[in-house]
Amino acid sequence: LQQRRGLRLSAPAAIQVTVRDALNQALDEELERDERVFLLGEEVAQYDGAYKISRGLWKKYGDKRVIDTPISEMGFTGIAVGAAMAGLRPVCEFMTFNFSMQAIDQVINSAAKSCYMSAGSISVPIVFRGPNGASAGVAAQHSQCFAAWYGHCPGLKVVSPWSAEDAKGLLKSSIRDDNPVVMLESELLYGVPFEMSEQAQSKDFVIPIGKAKIERPGTHVTLVAHSRPVGHCIEAATVLSKEGVECEVINLRTIRPMDIETVEASVVKTNHLVTVEGGWPQFGVGAEICARIMEGPAFNYLDAPAVRVTGADVPMPYAKILEDNSIPQVKDIVFAVKKALNI
C-alpha cells in the first residue's frame, strides 16, 4: 500500500557477519530445511564445536541431529559415508583437515568413487568440512593445505571459501549437492567480519559450486587465489594501484570443478597471470591453473610467463618468524606482480 502511494520503503542494509557466524547460519538453515541433514564430529554438540561453528545447534536440534563422536576419524567418517549411502545427508566435521588423513580411505575409496563404480546407483551426498591450511603457531601437524590433494580426485567436489558470503553460500550448496563435497575453511578467517548483502541474508541464498568471483576488476595483471590469500591479493592490489598498476583479483571459491573460463577471460584482458596459494608449490593449485592456461586459448594472450606465489616447500615451522616466511605475504604478491610486469 505504501509503495502504491509512492513512498519509498527502505530495504534491509548489508550487515557485518563473521565467517564463523555465516557457517553457523548455513548449518542452522539446512538442518531446519531438511530433516535428513545431520552434523557429526568431535565436540560439535555439547561443547558447541571446537571453533564454535555449531554453537547452539545441539540445544536446538538434539542428539539425533548433532552428534559428538569419539576421537576416531576413520570411524566417524565411515559412519557418515554409510549414512549418506543410506539416504541421509551428513555434514562431517574434521577438527582440522590434517586429521582427515586418518579417514582418507573413507573419503576417497568409499565416498568419491562409489557413484562411478556403481554406475550411478549409489550416490553419496555428504559434506566433509573443517579448517584447512595454516593456522597460527601449531606447526607442521596442523598447517597443511589439502586443496591440491582433494582437488586431484575425481568424484569429489572441492570448495574453498574466503568471505562470509562464500562460507554461507558454498556450505548450503554443498549440503544440497548429491555428490561428496570437501569444504576447506580457514581457521584464521573464522573470526573475521565481512559485509553480507541483503541477498545473502536470505535462507534461499546459495553460491553455485564451480563459479569463481571477480573481487576487484583490473586491467594490468590477473591475480587468482582461494581462501585467505584472496584477502592478501586485495591488499596487494591496493598497494600496487598507488603505483599505477591495476590488478584484477579472482576469488576462485571452487577448486574442483575449477572455473578456468573466468580466469581465461581475465588473462585475455590483462595479458599477465599471478597465482597465489598457501599450499606447497609442487603439483599445487597454481600449477594446475598455469597448465590449463597454457593448454587453452588464453595462452596466446600472455605477454610474460605466469608466476606462482606459494607456501615454502617445507613442513610448517613452529617459530612465528619462520611461519611468516613460509606462507605468502602481501609483499611477496607485490614482488611477483612486478616480476610478471617486468617493472
C-alpha cell at 120: 550411478
Q: Please give the pLDDT value at position 14.
A: 86
Nearest CA among 303, 274, 278, 304 for reference residue 289: 274
pTM beyond 0.85? yes
Q: Please give the pLDDT value at position 12.
A: 60
Work out the pLDDT band at 166, boundaries 50, 70, 90: very high
Work out the pLDDT band at 171, boundaries 50, 70, 90: very high
Cβ neighbours of residue 204 closer than 8 Å, sequence gap 6 or more: none
Cβ neighbours of residue 226 closer than 8 Å, sequence gap 6 or more: 147, 160, 162, 251, 252, 253, 255, 277, 285
Cβ neighbours of residue 212 closer than 8 Å, sequence gap 6 or more: 250, 251, 252, 253, 254, 259, 262, 263
For 67, list phi and psi in degrees, rounded to 5.
-120, 120
Taking only the tens place, the pLDDT of each residue in 134-151 is 888 888 889 999 999 999
Taking only the tens place, the pLDDT of each residue in 221-238 is 999 999 999 999 999 999
Taking only the tens place, the pLDDT of each residue in 93-134 is 999 999 999 999 999 999 999 999 999 999 999 999 999 998
Residue 142 bears catalytic tag? yes
Taking only the tens place, the pLDDT of each residue in 241-273 is 999 999 999 999 999 999 999 999 999 999 999
Between 148 and 4, the higher pLDDT residue: 148
4: pLDDT strictly greater than 70: no
Looking at every residue in the chain, the average pLDDT score rounds to 95
Domains of the chain: 16-198 (3.40.50.970), 213-341 (3.40.50.920)
Cβ neighbours of residue 38 closer than 8 Å, sequence gap 6 or more: 31, 64, 65, 66, 67, 83, 88, 89, 90, 91
Average pLDDT for 75-98: 97
Which one is catalytic: 29, 42, 73, 165? Answer: 73
Burial 103-115 (b: 16+ CB within 10 A, else e): bbebbbebbbbbb
Work out the pLDDT band at 11, boundaries 50, 70, 90: low
Residue 272 bears catalytic tag? no
Q: Is the CB of residue 160 less than 8 Å from the CB of residue 254?
A: yes
177: pLDDT strictly greater than 90: yes
Which one is catalytic: 142, 220, 232, 272? Answer: 142
Q: Please give the pLDDT value at position 98.
A: 95
Any idea what the Cα angle at residue 259 is, between residues 168 and 330, rounded to 5°? 75
| d(C-alpha 127, C-alpha 106), whole Å | 13
